[in-house]
Amino acid sequence: MRTQVGIVGAGPAGLLLAEMLHRHGVDSVVVEKHSRAHVLGRIRAGVLEPTTVDVLRENGLAERLDRDGNVHDGVRIVRSGGGFLIDINLHCGKRFVAYGQTNLQDDLFAAADRRRAAIITEAADVRLDGTSIVFKTGRVDCDFIAGCDGFHGISRDSIPAKREYEKVYPFGWLGILSETPPLPEIAYCHSPRGFALASQRSPMLSRYYIQVPLDTRIEDWPDARFWAEIKARFPRDWADAIVIGPSIEKSIAPLRSYVAEPMSHGRLFLAGDAAHIVPPTGAKGLNLAVSDVYYLSRALAEYYRTGSMALLDAYSETALRRVWAAVRVSWYLTTLLHRFPDASPFDERAQEYELAYLESSEHAQAALAEQYAGLPL
Ligand SMILES: Cc1cc2nc3c(=O)[nH]c(=O)nc-3n(C[C@H](O)[C@H](O)[C@H](O)COP(=O)(O)OP(=O)(O)OC[C@H]3O[C@@H](n4cnc5c(N)ncnc54)[C@H](O)[C@@H]3O)c2cc1C
Protein backbone atom coordinates (compact mmCIF):
# COMPACT_ATOMS: atom_id res chain seq x y z
CA MET A 1 0.00 0.00 0.00
CA ARG A 2 1.02 3.59 -0.47
CA THR A 3 -0.18 6.55 1.60
CA GLN A 4 0.86 10.03 2.65
CA VAL A 5 1.14 9.42 6.41
CA GLY A 6 1.65 5.95 7.85
CA ILE A 7 0.51 5.74 11.47
CA VAL A 8 1.79 3.04 13.81
CA GLY A 9 -0.74 2.29 16.56
CA ALA A 10 -4.54 2.67 16.80
CA GLY A 11 -4.66 4.08 20.33
CA PRO A 12 -6.15 7.53 20.92
CA ALA A 13 -3.10 9.27 19.40
CA GLY A 14 -3.06 7.21 16.19
CA LEU A 15 -6.79 7.24 15.51
CA LEU A 16 -7.20 10.93 16.35
CA LEU A 17 -4.29 11.82 14.07
CA ALA A 18 -5.87 9.84 11.22
CA GLU A 19 -9.16 11.66 11.79
CA MET A 20 -7.61 15.14 11.91
CA LEU A 21 -5.47 14.49 8.83
CA HIS A 22 -8.55 13.34 6.95
CA ARG A 23 -10.23 16.65 7.76
CA HIS A 24 -7.22 18.38 6.19
CA GLY A 25 -7.48 16.18 3.08
CA VAL A 26 -4.37 14.15 3.98
CA ASP A 27 -4.46 10.34 3.51
CA SER A 28 -3.23 7.93 6.12
CA VAL A 29 -3.09 4.23 6.91
CA VAL A 30 -3.08 3.00 10.53
CA VAL A 31 -1.19 -0.20 11.39
CA GLU A 32 -2.08 -1.71 14.79
CA LYS A 33 -0.62 -4.87 16.24
CA HIS A 34 -3.62 -5.84 18.37
CA SER A 35 -7.24 -6.61 17.47
CA ARG A 36 -9.86 -3.89 17.71
CA ALA A 37 -11.51 -5.75 20.59
CA HIS A 38 -8.25 -5.76 22.51
CA VAL A 39 -7.70 -2.03 21.96
CA LEU A 40 -11.28 -1.29 23.01
CA GLY A 41 -11.01 -3.48 26.09
CA ARG A 42 -8.22 -1.50 27.72
CA ILE A 43 -9.29 0.46 30.78
CA ARG A 44 -7.20 3.57 31.14
CA ALA A 45 -7.61 7.33 31.44
CA GLY A 46 -10.78 9.25 32.07
CA VAL A 47 -10.18 12.94 32.74
CA LEU A 48 -10.25 15.26 29.74
CA GLU A 49 -8.81 18.78 29.87
CA PRO A 50 -10.96 21.56 28.41
CA THR A 51 -8.45 21.87 25.55
CA THR A 52 -8.83 18.18 24.72
CA VAL A 53 -12.61 18.55 24.70
CA ASP A 54 -12.28 21.55 22.35
CA VAL A 55 -10.07 19.58 19.94
CA LEU A 56 -12.53 16.67 19.93
CA ARG A 57 -15.47 19.02 19.37
CA GLU A 58 -13.74 20.83 16.52
CA ASN A 59 -13.21 17.49 14.84
CA GLY A 60 -16.78 16.27 15.20
CA LEU A 61 -15.85 13.66 17.80
CA ALA A 62 -17.69 14.97 20.86
CA GLU A 63 -21.34 14.09 20.30
CA ARG A 64 -21.43 11.33 22.93
CA LEU A 65 -18.87 13.10 25.09
CA ASP A 66 -21.09 16.19 25.27
CA ARG A 67 -24.08 14.00 26.11
CA ASP A 68 -22.56 11.55 28.60
CA GLY A 69 -19.42 13.25 29.94
CA ASN A 70 -19.53 14.38 33.55
CA VAL A 71 -18.49 18.03 33.82
CA HIS A 72 -16.49 19.12 36.89
CA ASP A 73 -15.48 22.51 38.29
CA GLY A 74 -12.38 21.15 39.99
CA VAL A 75 -10.79 18.34 41.96
CA ARG A 76 -10.79 17.95 45.72
CA ILE A 77 -7.77 17.16 47.84
CA VAL A 78 -8.78 15.47 51.09
CA ARG A 79 -6.93 14.32 54.18
CA SER A 80 -7.89 13.65 57.75
CA GLY A 81 -9.21 16.81 59.30
CA GLY A 82 -10.27 18.49 56.10
CA GLY A 83 -9.92 19.05 52.45
CA PHE A 84 -10.15 21.72 49.81
CA LEU A 85 -11.21 22.15 46.21
CA ILE A 86 -8.75 23.07 43.48
CA ASP A 87 -11.38 25.13 41.74
CA ILE A 88 -10.47 25.24 38.08
CA ASN A 89 -13.66 26.99 37.07
CA LEU A 90 -13.12 29.74 39.66
CA HIS A 91 -9.47 30.32 38.85
CA CYS A 92 -9.39 29.64 35.11
CA GLY A 93 -12.99 29.87 33.93
CA LYS A 94 -12.73 26.31 32.60
CA ARG A 95 -14.24 22.97 33.41
CA PHE A 96 -12.95 19.49 32.70
CA VAL A 97 -14.89 16.38 31.78
CA ALA A 98 -14.79 12.83 33.14
CA TYR A 99 -15.22 10.54 30.12
CA GLY A 100 -13.59 7.13 29.85
CA GLN A 101 -10.77 6.56 27.38
CA THR A 102 -12.61 3.38 26.37
CA ASN A 103 -15.55 5.50 25.17
CA LEU A 104 -13.26 7.90 23.36
CA GLN A 105 -11.50 5.00 21.68
CA ASP A 106 -14.88 3.64 20.64
CA ASP A 107 -15.93 7.06 19.25
CA LEU A 108 -12.69 7.22 17.24
CA PHE A 109 -13.22 3.76 15.72
CA ALA A 110 -16.83 4.70 14.89
CA ALA A 111 -15.66 7.88 13.11
CA ALA A 112 -13.04 5.86 11.23
CA ASP A 113 -15.70 3.34 10.15
CA ARG A 114 -17.97 6.13 8.88
CA ARG A 115 -15.31 7.29 6.44
CA ARG A 116 -14.11 3.74 5.68
CA ALA A 117 -10.64 4.56 6.97
CA ALA A 118 -7.73 2.23 6.29
CA ILE A 119 -6.92 0.56 9.60
CA ILE A 120 -4.92 -2.66 9.57
CA THR A 121 -5.31 -4.53 12.87
CA GLU A 122 -3.52 -7.61 14.17
CA ALA A 123 -0.41 -6.70 12.15
CA ALA A 124 2.39 -9.00 13.32
CA ASP A 125 6.10 -8.18 13.57
CA VAL A 126 5.68 -4.49 12.79
CA ARG A 127 8.91 -2.63 12.02
CA LEU A 128 10.00 0.56 10.31
CA ASP A 129 12.13 0.49 7.18
CA GLY A 130 12.93 4.08 6.23
CA THR A 131 9.56 5.61 5.42
CA SER A 132 7.81 2.25 5.17
CA ILE A 133 5.88 0.35 7.82
CA VAL A 134 6.61 -3.33 7.32
CA PHE A 135 4.66 -6.17 8.93
CA LYS A 136 4.28 -9.90 8.40
CA THR A 137 1.64 -9.75 5.70
CA GLY A 138 2.48 -6.51 3.93
CA ARG A 139 4.02 -3.07 3.90
CA VAL A 140 2.85 0.52 3.70
CA ASP A 141 5.09 3.02 1.88
CA CYS A 142 4.61 6.56 3.18
CA ASP A 143 5.84 10.14 2.87
CA PHE A 144 5.92 10.42 6.67
CA ILE A 145 5.55 8.05 9.60
CA ALA A 146 3.78 8.92 12.84
CA GLY A 147 4.88 6.67 15.70
CA CYS A 148 1.76 6.50 17.88
CA ASP A 149 2.51 3.05 19.25
CA GLY A 150 2.61 3.78 22.96
CA PHE A 151 5.37 3.30 25.49
CA HIS A 152 6.16 -0.30 24.46
CA GLY A 153 6.03 0.38 20.72
CA ILE A 154 8.85 0.07 18.19
CA SER A 155 8.90 3.57 16.63
CA ARG A 156 10.95 5.26 19.33
CA ASP A 157 13.87 2.89 18.62
CA SER A 158 14.25 4.52 15.20
CA ILE A 159 15.26 7.85 16.75
CA PRO A 160 19.04 7.65 17.07
CA ALA A 161 21.00 9.63 19.68
CA LYS A 162 17.92 10.50 21.68
CA ARG A 163 18.11 11.83 25.21
CA GLU A 164 15.95 9.97 27.71
CA TYR A 165 14.74 11.46 30.98
CA GLU A 166 13.22 9.04 33.45
CA LYS A 167 11.97 8.88 37.00
CA VAL A 168 10.63 5.63 38.42
CA TYR A 169 8.52 6.03 41.56
CA PRO A 170 8.79 3.44 44.34
CA PHE A 171 5.12 2.43 44.20
CA GLY A 172 2.27 1.63 41.83
CA TRP A 173 -1.49 2.13 41.70
CA LEU A 174 -3.91 -0.71 42.22
CA GLY A 175 -7.08 0.33 40.40
CA ILE A 176 -10.55 -1.12 40.20
CA LEU A 177 -13.50 -0.34 38.02
CA SER A 178 -16.91 -0.97 39.50
CA GLU A 179 -20.47 -0.49 38.27
CA THR A 180 -21.44 1.65 41.23
CA PRO A 181 -22.35 5.34 41.42
CA PRO A 182 -19.12 7.31 41.91
CA LEU A 183 -18.56 10.02 44.48
CA PRO A 184 -19.87 13.33 43.10
CA GLU A 185 -16.35 14.80 43.03
CA ILE A 186 -12.97 13.53 41.88
CA ALA A 187 -11.08 13.26 45.17
CA TYR A 188 -7.35 12.86 45.77
CA CYS A 189 -6.70 11.53 49.27
CA HIS A 190 -3.46 11.96 51.21
CA SER A 191 -3.33 9.50 54.09
CA PRO A 192 -0.72 7.96 56.40
CA ARG A 193 -1.73 4.59 54.84
CA GLY A 194 -0.85 5.87 51.36
CA PHE A 195 -2.49 7.79 48.54
CA ALA A 196 -5.98 6.98 47.25
CA LEU A 197 -8.07 8.40 44.41
CA ALA A 198 -11.80 8.34 43.80
CA SER A 199 -12.53 8.94 40.13
CA GLN A 200 -15.25 8.11 37.66
CA ARG A 201 -15.97 7.12 34.10
CA SER A 202 -19.75 7.60 33.95
CA PRO A 203 -22.73 8.03 36.32
CA MET A 204 -22.72 4.28 37.00
CA LEU A 205 -19.03 3.52 36.60
CA SER A 206 -16.54 4.30 39.35
CA ARG A 207 -12.76 4.14 39.17
CA TYR A 208 -10.84 3.89 42.43
CA TYR A 209 -7.11 3.62 43.02
CA ILE A 210 -4.84 3.02 45.99
CA GLN A 211 -1.09 3.40 46.19
CA VAL A 212 0.58 -0.01 46.65
CA PRO A 213 4.17 -1.30 46.90
CA LEU A 214 5.75 -2.32 43.59
CA ASP A 215 5.81 -6.02 44.49
CA THR A 216 2.03 -6.15 45.10
CA ARG A 217 0.27 -9.19 43.62
CA ILE A 218 -3.22 -8.62 42.30
CA GLU A 219 -4.41 -12.02 43.58
CA ASP A 220 -3.70 -10.83 47.12
CA TRP A 221 -6.31 -8.09 46.69
CA PRO A 222 -9.82 -9.53 46.56
CA ASP A 223 -12.51 -6.84 46.28
CA ALA A 224 -13.33 -6.91 50.00
CA ARG A 225 -9.75 -6.10 50.92
CA PHE A 226 -9.60 -3.28 48.37
CA TRP A 227 -12.80 -1.64 49.62
CA ALA A 228 -11.73 -1.93 53.24
CA GLU A 229 -8.37 -0.33 52.46
CA ILE A 230 -9.71 2.57 50.42
CA LYS A 231 -12.29 3.33 53.09
CA ALA A 232 -9.53 3.26 55.71
CA ARG A 233 -7.56 5.84 53.73
CA PHE A 234 -10.37 8.34 53.11
CA PRO A 235 -11.64 10.48 56.03
CA ARG A 236 -14.76 9.00 57.65
CA ASP A 237 -17.41 11.13 55.90
CA TRP A 238 -15.90 10.40 52.48
CA ALA A 239 -15.42 6.71 53.24
CA ASP A 240 -19.07 6.37 54.25
CA ALA A 241 -20.15 7.81 50.89
CA ILE A 242 -18.16 5.29 48.81
CA VAL A 243 -20.61 2.78 47.32
CA ILE A 244 -19.00 -0.62 47.02
CA GLY A 245 -19.76 -3.40 44.55
CA PRO A 246 -18.02 -6.14 42.59
CA SER A 247 -15.06 -5.01 40.50
CA ILE A 248 -15.32 -5.51 36.74
CA GLU A 249 -11.63 -4.79 36.19
CA LYS A 250 -8.64 -4.70 38.47
CA SER A 251 -5.06 -3.85 37.53
CA ILE A 252 -1.77 -2.56 38.87
CA ALA A 253 0.17 0.19 37.09
CA PRO A 254 3.69 1.19 38.13
CA LEU A 255 4.26 4.97 38.22
CA ARG A 256 6.91 6.47 36.02
CA SER A 257 7.82 9.73 34.30
CA TYR A 258 9.67 9.37 30.99
CA VAL A 259 10.46 11.73 28.13
CA ALA A 260 12.45 10.99 24.95
CA GLU A 261 13.92 13.96 23.11
CA PRO A 262 13.71 14.85 20.32
CA MET A 263 10.29 13.58 19.32
CA SER A 264 11.22 13.39 15.63
CA HIS A 265 13.95 12.20 13.30
CA GLY A 266 13.88 12.81 9.56
CA ARG A 267 10.38 11.87 8.44
CA LEU A 268 9.44 10.01 11.64
CA PHE A 269 7.39 11.84 14.30
CA LEU A 270 6.43 10.42 17.69
CA ALA A 271 3.17 11.34 19.42
CA GLY A 272 1.63 10.35 22.76
CA ASP A 273 2.98 7.61 25.00
CA ALA A 274 5.49 6.59 22.32
CA ALA A 275 7.49 9.66 23.33
CA HIS A 276 6.57 10.25 26.95
CA ILE A 277 4.65 8.90 29.90
CA VAL A 278 3.61 10.55 33.13
CA PRO A 279 2.29 9.13 36.39
CA PRO A 280 -1.52 9.24 36.24
CA THR A 281 -1.74 11.57 39.27
CA GLY A 282 -2.07 14.64 37.06
CA ALA A 283 -4.45 12.91 34.58
CA LYS A 284 -2.26 14.14 31.73
CA GLY A 285 -1.27 11.11 29.60
CA LEU A 286 -4.26 11.04 27.30
CA ASN A 287 -4.42 14.83 27.16
CA LEU A 288 -0.79 15.01 26.05
CA ALA A 289 -1.47 12.48 23.30
CA VAL A 290 -4.19 14.82 22.04
CA SER A 291 -2.01 17.93 22.16
CA ASP A 292 0.86 16.18 20.34
CA VAL A 293 -1.58 15.11 17.64
CA TYR A 294 -2.96 18.63 17.37
CA TYR A 295 0.55 20.01 16.67
CA LEU A 296 1.51 17.16 14.36
CA SER A 297 -1.68 17.23 12.27
CA ARG A 298 -1.34 20.99 11.87
CA ALA A 299 2.29 20.63 10.75
CA LEU A 300 1.53 17.84 8.27
CA ALA A 301 -1.45 19.75 6.87
CA GLU A 302 0.75 22.81 6.42
CA TYR A 303 3.31 20.70 4.55
CA TYR A 304 0.73 19.29 2.14
CA ARG A 305 -0.86 22.71 1.63
CA THR A 306 2.28 24.78 1.09
CA GLY A 307 5.27 22.43 0.88
CA SER A 308 6.75 24.12 3.95
CA MET A 309 8.56 21.94 6.50
CA ALA A 310 8.68 24.80 9.05
CA LEU A 311 6.02 23.45 11.44
CA LEU A 312 7.27 19.89 11.07
CA ASP A 313 10.80 21.00 11.88
CA ALA A 314 9.46 22.83 14.96
CA TYR A 315 7.18 19.94 16.02
CA SER A 316 9.41 18.34 18.64
CA GLU A 317 10.27 21.61 20.34
CA THR A 318 6.66 22.81 20.26
CA ALA A 319 5.24 19.58 21.65
CA LEU A 320 7.95 19.22 24.31
CA ARG A 321 7.08 22.58 25.89
CA ARG A 322 3.63 21.27 26.74
CA VAL A 323 4.94 17.81 27.58
CA TRP A 324 7.34 19.15 30.21
CA ALA A 325 4.63 21.33 31.75
CA ALA A 326 2.54 18.16 32.22
CA VAL A 327 5.53 16.09 33.38
CA ARG A 328 6.27 18.73 36.00
CA VAL A 329 2.75 18.98 37.43
CA SER A 330 2.30 15.19 37.43
CA TRP A 331 5.58 14.82 39.33
CA TYR A 332 4.54 17.61 41.74
CA LEU A 333 1.17 16.03 42.53
CA THR A 334 2.72 12.58 42.87
CA THR A 335 5.34 13.91 45.28
CA LEU A 336 2.78 15.96 47.21
CA LEU A 337 0.22 13.24 47.75
CA HIS A 338 1.95 9.86 48.08
CA ARG A 339 3.72 8.20 50.98
CA PHE A 340 7.31 7.55 49.90
CA PRO A 341 8.73 4.41 51.52
CA ASP A 342 12.17 6.02 51.80
CA ALA A 343 10.90 9.41 53.09
CA SER A 344 12.82 10.84 56.03
CA PRO A 345 10.99 12.58 58.89
CA PHE A 346 12.16 15.83 57.23
CA ASP A 347 10.56 14.84 53.90
CA GLU A 348 7.28 13.96 55.63
CA ARG A 349 7.19 17.23 57.56
CA ALA A 350 7.94 19.27 54.41
CA GLN A 351 5.18 17.41 52.57
CA GLU A 352 2.66 18.15 55.36
CA TYR A 353 3.53 21.83 55.28
CA GLU A 354 3.38 21.97 51.50
CA LEU A 355 -0.16 20.58 51.69
CA ALA A 356 -1.06 23.06 54.45
CA TYR A 357 0.31 25.90 52.33
CA LEU A 358 -1.70 24.77 49.31
CA GLU A 359 -4.81 24.60 51.49
CA SER A 360 -4.29 28.10 52.86
CA SER A 361 -3.14 29.97 49.76
CA GLU A 362 -5.49 31.00 46.97
CA HIS A 363 -2.47 31.86 44.84
CA ALA A 364 -1.02 28.37 45.20
CA GLN A 365 -4.42 26.89 44.39
CA ALA A 366 -4.77 29.13 41.34
CA ALA A 367 -1.34 28.03 40.06
CA LEU A 368 -2.22 24.37 40.48
CA ALA A 369 -5.67 24.92 38.93
CA GLU A 370 -4.04 26.46 35.86
CA GLN A 371 -1.75 23.48 35.43
CA TYR A 372 -4.41 20.86 36.15
CA ALA A 373 -6.70 22.51 33.60
CA GLY A 374 -3.88 22.28 31.05
CA LEU A 375 -2.12 25.03 29.21
CA PRO A 376 -3.67 26.42 26.03
CA LEU A 377 -2.41 24.98 22.76
C1 LIG B 1 -3.31 1.34 33.32
C2 LIG B 1 -3.25 2.75 32.78
C3 LIG B 1 -3.99 3.76 33.41
C4 LIG B 1 -3.94 5.05 32.91
N5 LIG B 1 -4.68 6.02 33.54
C6 LIG B 1 -4.62 7.29 33.07
C7 LIG B 1 -5.37 8.31 33.66
O8 LIG B 1 -6.08 8.10 34.63
N9 LIG B 1 -5.30 9.57 33.13
C10 LIG B 1 -4.52 9.83 32.02
O11 LIG B 1 -4.50 10.96 31.53
N12 LIG B 1 -3.79 8.87 31.45
C13 LIG B 1 -3.82 7.61 31.94
N14 LIG B 1 -3.12 6.65 31.33
C15 LIG B 1 -2.33 7.02 30.17
C16 LIG B 1 -3.18 7.08 28.92
O17 LIG B 1 -4.02 5.97 28.87
C18 LIG B 1 -2.21 7.11 27.77
O19 LIG B 1 -1.44 8.28 27.89
C20 LIG B 1 -2.89 7.09 26.39
O21 LIG B 1 -3.44 5.82 26.15
C22 LIG B 1 -1.87 7.43 25.32
O23 LIG B 1 -2.41 7.17 24.05
P24 LIG B 1 -1.46 6.68 22.88
O25 LIG B 1 -2.34 6.53 21.70
O26 LIG B 1 -0.27 7.55 22.82
O27 LIG B 1 -0.89 5.25 23.37
P28 LIG B 1 -1.65 3.88 23.58
O29 LIG B 1 -3.01 4.11 24.12
O30 LIG B 1 -0.72 3.02 24.37
O31 LIG B 1 -1.82 3.30 22.13
C32 LIG B 1 -0.73 2.77 21.42
C33 LIG B 1 -1.25 1.75 20.42
O34 LIG B 1 -0.15 1.25 19.65
C35 LIG B 1 -0.27 -0.15 19.55
N36 LIG B 1 1.06 -0.72 19.34
C37 LIG B 1 2.04 -0.93 20.23
N38 LIG B 1 3.12 -1.46 19.66
C39 LIG B 1 2.82 -1.57 18.35
C40 LIG B 1 3.55 -2.05 17.25
N41 LIG B 1 4.80 -2.54 17.36
N42 LIG B 1 2.95 -2.02 16.03
C43 LIG B 1 1.68 -1.54 15.89
N44 LIG B 1 0.95 -1.08 16.92
C45 LIG B 1 1.53 -1.10 18.13
C46 LIG B 1 -0.89 -0.58 20.87
O47 LIG B 1 -1.52 -1.84 20.77
C48 LIG B 1 -1.90 0.56 21.09
O49 LIG B 1 -3.14 0.29 20.49
C50 LIG B 1 -3.14 5.35 31.80
C51 LIG B 1 -2.39 4.34 31.18
C52 LIG B 1 -2.43 3.05 31.67
C53 LIG B 1 -1.60 1.99 30.99
Q: How far apart are the first and last CA of the chain?
A: 34
The ligand 1 atom nearest the CA atom of 127: 41
Residue minimizing CA distance to atom 8 of ligand 1 = 45
- Does the annotation count 94 as an active-site position? no
DSSP 239-304: HHHPPP--EEEEEEEEEEEEEEE-SEETTEEE-GGGTEE--GGG--HHHHHHHHHHHHHHHHHHHH
**Domains, the chain, ranges and CATH?**
2-70+99-166+257-337 (3.50.50.60), 169-255+338-373 (3.30.9.10)
Determine if ligand 1 sits within 6 Å of the CB of residue 272.
Answer: yes
Q: Which residues of 189-226 are buried (b: 16+ CB within 10 A; e: fewer)?
A: bbbeebbbbbbbbbeebbbbbbbbeeebeeeebeeeeb
| 340 Cα to the center of ligand 1, angstroms | 26
Determine if ligand 1 sits within 6 Å of the CB of residue 8.
Answer: yes
Nearest to 90 by CA among 376, 375, 373: 373
Q: What is the pLDDT along the chain (377 residues), one digit of tens a residue?
A: 999 999 999 999 999 999 999 999 999 999 999 999 999 998 888 899 999 999 999 999 999 999 999 999 999 999 988 899 999 999 999 999 999 999 999 999 999 999 999 999 999 999 999 999 999 999 999 999 999 999 999 999 999 989 999 999 999 999 999 999 999 999 999 999 999 999 988 888 999 999 999 999 999 999 999 999 999 999 999 999 999 999 999 999 999 999 999 999 999 999 999 999 999 999 999 999 999 999 999 999 999 999 999 999 999 999 999 999 999 999 999 999 999 999 999 999 999 999 999 999 999 999 999 999 998 89
pTM above 0.75, yes or no: yes
- Which of 149, 208, 263 for a ligand 1 pocket mutation test, highest count of atoms within 8 Å of Cβ? 149
The ligand 1 atom nearest the CA atom of 105: 29
Determine if ligand 1 sits within 6 Å of the CB of residue 12.
Answer: yes
Determine if ligand 1 sits within 6 Å of the CB of residue 45.
Answer: yes
Please state the separation of Cα 130 from the chain's center in Å.
Answer: 29
- Does the annotation count 303 as an active-site position? no
Whether 329 contacts 309, CB under 8 Å = no
